[in-house]
Structure 1
Amino acid sequence: MKKSSSLVALTVLTASLLLGSVQAETSPSAVTSELSQIQQQWASVKYQQSGKTQEQAFAELVSAAQAAVKAHPEDARYLIWEGIIRATYAGSVGGLDALSEVKTAKKLFEQALKQDEKALDGSAYTSLGSLYYQVPGWPVGFGSDKKAREYLLKGLEVNPDGIDSNYFYGDFLLQQKEYKAAVAVLEKALLAPPRPGREDADAGRRQEIEQALTKARSKIKS
C-alpha cells in the first residue's frame, strides 16, 4: 500500500473510533466499586472531554486499567475494560499509535473470551466486532466485515436487548448499507432499559444511536 493510502486508512480508523467505542453492559450486582469507578471515569472522559485534555485523561485511565487487570488477573471484566479504554484512547491519540492500541485491545478481548465469554453480558464479543468493522483491513490493520458480523451477532446472542450490542450491530449494518435492517436494530437499542450508575454513558450512547438513526432513515428516503 502506498504511504498516502496508509495515512488515509489511519485517519479513517481514528475518526471511526472517536465516533463509537464499546462500553460494557453491566448489571449493578456484578460490578465492584473499583470497576464502577473505571466505568464512570471512562464515560466522563469520552463524552465530556476533548482534544489534548481527553487524550491525557485516557492515557491515565489506561494506566489505571492496567493496574486493575494486574490486581484481578483471572477476572475477565477487567480485561474487557482495559480493552475498551484502549480502543477509545486510540480514537483520541490517532496515527500509528492508534493502530497499536487497537491491536492491544483486540488481544485483551480475545483473552477475556477465553476466560469467560459471557462476562459483562458478552461485551467482549461486541467489542471485538466493533473493532473488526472500524479498523482498516490488511495491510494496514486487521479489519474484516465478515468477522465483525460474526462477533456482533454472538454479542447479541448473549445480550439481545442491550443498548451497546444493538447499537454496534445497527451501526455495522448502516456501514454495510443495509439501511432498513439498521433502523430496526437501532430502534431496538433505544428501547434498552437504563443502567443504574451508568447515566452518563447511557446518555452519550443514546445520542450516538439517534445520529445513526437519522443517517439510516435519510438513506432510505434518498
Structure 2
Amino acid sequence: MAPSNNRAELDRLLQTRNEHPEKAAEIDAAIHRAFSQTHAVLVLDMSGFSRLTVRYGIIHFLAMMHRLHIIALPLINQHQGKLIKQEADNLFAVFPTVALAVEAAVDLLKTLAAVNTGLPDSLDLFASIGIGYGEVLMVEDSDMYGSEMNLASKLGEDLARSGEILLTEAAFTQIDPVDPASDRWEELEFSVSGLQLMTHKRLWQGSRDRF
C-alpha cells in the first residue's frame, strides 16, 4: 500500500484546492495531517560548482559529487539522519534534533578536510552548510517543502562560506546555551531579498572565522 504522504496524493489535494478555493482551509488541514513533520533540516552545498565545471568539465564535477555522496551518507546515518534528496551540488537531509544535525555537519566538514589531504587540488572537496528547524511537508522520503528548509538552503548555498555552518534563528533556539560542552556561536545578521535574517555561525576551536 502506498504511503499516505505520496506525491500523487499531494497533487490530488492541491488540484482540489485550486478547483475549490472555498475549501482551502479544509484541504490545508488534510495536507498538514498527511505530510507535516518536524525536523532539523541540513542543507549542504558543495563549494565551487561553477568554477569546477568551467575548468574541468561536467563529468569531473559529477564524479566529485558522487564522492561527496559516498562520504556524506554514512555520516548522516551515523547521526540518526536521513538523506532526502540530492539536487545538483546540494544535499538535503533531516535529523531528529538540531544537536545531531550540527554534529553531523561538523563531522562532514572534518572528514572532507581529512580526505583532501590525500588528494590533488583538482579533487579537493569543500562545502558550506545551513541548518534549520521546524515543520516541513515531507513527500514520502524523497522531497520536502517548508520555510525552514528554504532558509537552510539560503544559508548553505548563498550566505555560508566554504567550511562554515550557519543556523537559522529557529534552529539556534534548540541549542542548549548553558551546556558547558556546547559549541561556541557568533550571531550574524544578513539582509537578503528584503528579508532580515538573524543567523548563528559555529566558531571552530582556535578560529573565529571558519574551519
Task: Flag whether TM exceeds 0.5 (same fold).
Answer: no
Query: Of Structure 1 and Structure 2, which has the larger fraction of its residues in helix?
Result: 1
Query: Of Structure 1 and Structure 2, which has the larger fraction of its residues in strand?
Result: 2
The normalised TM-score by structure 1 is: 0.30
